[in-house]
């Protein structure tokens, strides 16, 4: 019996899952508070003792979104092009993109970067052979400011030699990746994603005290959202030996953010539709920092307003919202408060989907009606996976991401099977899929379908 222990150092909880690789079964799971303030090992030890005795464990892997996760700033030239490409690369690497800068960065912006909680800067700009001025200027600003934040250099390759020399001369730590947008509207995120992961493992986990966990686990291999995205790709696209389940979506509503992942090309599914704009990543992740159940409760209200709640027959919700923002650990017990949480989650799901999914608009032309698609067409998606407490415990929330006649231009899924991550094991299985894709895929099918 070969056993693997998977640990997810989450922002709130440290979750452990013990799996038997030969029987392909979950043997035990346990949970304790994440303890980055003292030592991350405290929470781990507590959770580990709750697991019970299961004999020898052959392998121990971990992923982490503790200590604020991974915050990346994206820098590019044109907002809709290289800035957007850099953002997508960072999101795909499991980061939160709280800052993004276009054109030529200014001293004020450098000051903002300095005083922020940014872990990595993804520096892009220009297609290969294209604009050089913007990225050179921005690299100079970074060098002059002697920023101590690791840089991922992923812009116009013609500028690499000059920028590398500049960074070496000014002791700026950097790693080089391929251009995130080598040609107009061509997205190339894999290389930058891999470099971000490498820096995360080598530098960021160390700085945040997560590396310490490696005294007790073998490896902290990636940020949790990156693991989940990887697992979803395995589940959707399959492995070399096994079919996946096809295009799918994943909805995760948390206290601070609402994340949506989609796996699939999302190309136009109907005739006469023309795709426009930057290419979409096959594994796309969007993170909405203003849609959440607790930390972002106020932001949610500010974004959607009272109107959104009125649709669900609620009014004057400010007190309830403020209460949830102040009491982030709050778990509702009476029917009214539970229902209120479900309404909040429904609004988060609906709004996050609006921002994730592609749209189609009709264009009148002398040749008749033409259709223009921006973003991903997800109408043909067959499965939606729901994760996160509120989604797992209450019905009817995931459905809010489906086709809605009030939002007719959005290319949302029409007929979908809803899967729920009841045992909270999907992130663990995803982490495992990095090393054991076939076993992980069989187990995902077994536990979710």
Partner 1 sequence: MKTIVLGVIGADVHAVGNKILDYVFSNEGYHVVNIGVLSQQEDFINAAIETNADAILVSSLYGHGELDCRGFKSKCVEAGLENVLLYVGGNIVIGKQNWRDAKQRFIDMGFDRVYPPGTTPAKALSDLKKDLK
Query: Is residue 65 a contact point for partner 1 (CB under 8 A)?
Result: no
Distance CA 195, CA 368 (A): 47
Query: Is residue 415 a contact point for partner 1 (CB under 8 A)?
Result: no
Query: Is residue 364 a contact point for partner 1 (CB under 8 A)?
Result: yes
Say if strands 13-20 and 3-9 run parallel, antiparallel, or are unpaired.
antiparallel
Nearer CB in complex with partner 1: 277/332:
277
Question: Least CB distance from residue 274 to partner 1, whole Å?
Answer: 5
> How many CA atoms are closer than 13 Å to the CA of 379, on its beta-carbon side?
14
Among 207, 370, 408, 449, the residue binding partner 1 under the rule CB under 8 A is: 370
Query: Is residue 372 a contact point for partner 1 (CB under 8 A)?
Result: yes
| Angle between helices 426-435 and 224-237 in degrees, nearest 10 | 80
Question: Least CB distance from residue 80 to partner 1, whole Å?
Answer: 6
Nearer CB in complex with partner 1: 181/390:
181
Site for partner 1 in 5-64 (CB under 8 A): none
Q: Is the dihedral of CA 76, 81, 87, 92 positive or negative?
A: negative
- Please work out the total of residues on this chain that contact partner 1, with binding judged by CB under 8 A: 25
Query: Is residue 183 a contact point for partner 1 (CB under 8 A)?
Result: yes
Among 61, 181, 342, 429, the residue binding partner 1 under the rule CB under 8 A is: 181
Among 161, 271, 336, 366, the residue binding partner 1 under the rule CB under 8 A is: 366
Query: Is residue 184 a contact point for partner 1 (CB under 8 A)?
Result: yes
Q: Is the dihedral of CA 133, 134, 139, 141 positive or negative?
A: positive
Beta-strand runs (E) in 178-236: 219-223
Nearer CB in complex with partner 1: 85/397:
85
Question: Least CB distance from residue 284 to partner 1, whole Å?
Answer: 21
Nearer CB in complex with partner 1: 77/154:
77
Nearer CB in complex with partner 1: 313/366:
366
Q: Is 412 exposed, middle or buried (0-12, 13-18, 19+ CB in 10 A)?
A: buried
Query: Is residue 357 a contact point for partner 1 (CB under 8 A)?
Result: no
Residue 331's contacts (CB-CB under 8 Å, 6 or more residues apart) are none
Sheet of 71-75: strand order equals: 96-101, 71-75, 120-123, 151-153, 174-176
Nearer CB in complex with partner 1: 331/370:
370
Distance CA 235, CA 312 (A): 34
Main-chain phi, psi angles of 20, to 5 degrees: -90, 115
Name the residue among 307, 401, 284 with its Cα closest to residue 354: 401
Among 11, 82, 257, 286, the residue binding partner 1 under the rule CB under 8 A is: 82
Question: Least CB distance from residue 265 to partner 1, whole Å?
Answer: 18
What DSSP character marks residue 410?
B
Among 148, 315, 329, 367, the residue binding partner 1 under the rule CB under 8 A is: 367
Binding site for partner 1 (CB under 8 A): 77-78, 80-82, 126-127, 129-132, 181, 183-185, 274, 276-277, 363-367, 370, 372
């Amino acid at each position: 019996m070969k056993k693997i222990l998977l640990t997810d150092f989450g922002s709130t909880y440290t979750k452990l899952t013990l799996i038997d690789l030969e029987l392909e079964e979950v043997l035990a799971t346990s949970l304790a508070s994440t303890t980055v303030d003292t030592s991350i090992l405290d929470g781990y030890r507590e959770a580990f003792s709750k697991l019970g005795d299961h004999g020898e464990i052959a392998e121990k892997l971990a992923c982490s979104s503790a200590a604020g996760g991974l915050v990346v700033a994206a820098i590019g030239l044109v907002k809709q092009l290289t800035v957007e490409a850099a953002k997508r690369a960072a999101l795909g690497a499991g980061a939160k993109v709280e800052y993004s800068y276009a054109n030529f960065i200014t001293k004020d912006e450098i000051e903002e970067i300095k005083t922020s909680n940014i872990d990595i800067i993804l520096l892009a700009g220009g297609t290969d052979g294209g604009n050089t001025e913007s990225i050179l200027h921005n690299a100079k600003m970074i060098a002059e400011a002697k920023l101590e934040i690791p840089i991922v250099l992923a812009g116009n390759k013609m500028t690499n030699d000059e920028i590398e020399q500049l960074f070496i001369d000014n002791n700026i730590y950097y790693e080089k990746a391929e251009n995130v947008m080598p040609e107009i509207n061509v997205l190339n995120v894999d290389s930058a994603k891999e470099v971000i992961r490498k820096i995360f493992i080598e530098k960021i986990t160390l700085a945040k005290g997560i590396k310490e966990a490696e005294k007790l686990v073998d490896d902290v291999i990636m940020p949790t959202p990156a693991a989940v995205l990887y697992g979803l790709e395995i589940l959707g696209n399959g492995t070399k030996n096994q079919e996946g389940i096809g295009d799918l979506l994943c909805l995760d509503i948390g206290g601070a953010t609402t994340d949506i992942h989609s796996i699939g090309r999302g190309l136009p599914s109907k005739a006469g539709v023309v795709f426009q704009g930057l290419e979409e990543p096959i594994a796309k992740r969007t993170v909405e920092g203003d849609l959440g159940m607790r930390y972002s409760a106020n932001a949610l209200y500010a974004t959607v307003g009272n109107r959104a709640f009125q649709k669900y027959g609620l009014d004057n919700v400010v007190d309830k919202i403020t209460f949830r923002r102040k009491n982030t650990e709050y778990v509702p017990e009476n029917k009214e408060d539970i229902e209120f949480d479900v309404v909040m989650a429904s609004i988060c799901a609906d709004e996050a989907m609006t921002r994730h999914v592609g749209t189609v608009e009709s264009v009148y032309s002398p040749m008749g009606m033409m259709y223009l698609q921006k973003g991903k067409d997800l109408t043909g998606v067959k499965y939606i996976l729901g994760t996160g407490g509120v989604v797992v415990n209450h019905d009817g929330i995931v459905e809010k991401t489906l086709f809605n006649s009030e939002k007719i231009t959005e290319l949302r899924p029409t007929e979908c099977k809803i899967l729920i991550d009841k045992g909270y094991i999907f992130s663990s299985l995803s982490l495992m899929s990095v090393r054991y894709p076939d076993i992980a895929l069989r187990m995902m099918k077994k536990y979710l379908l």
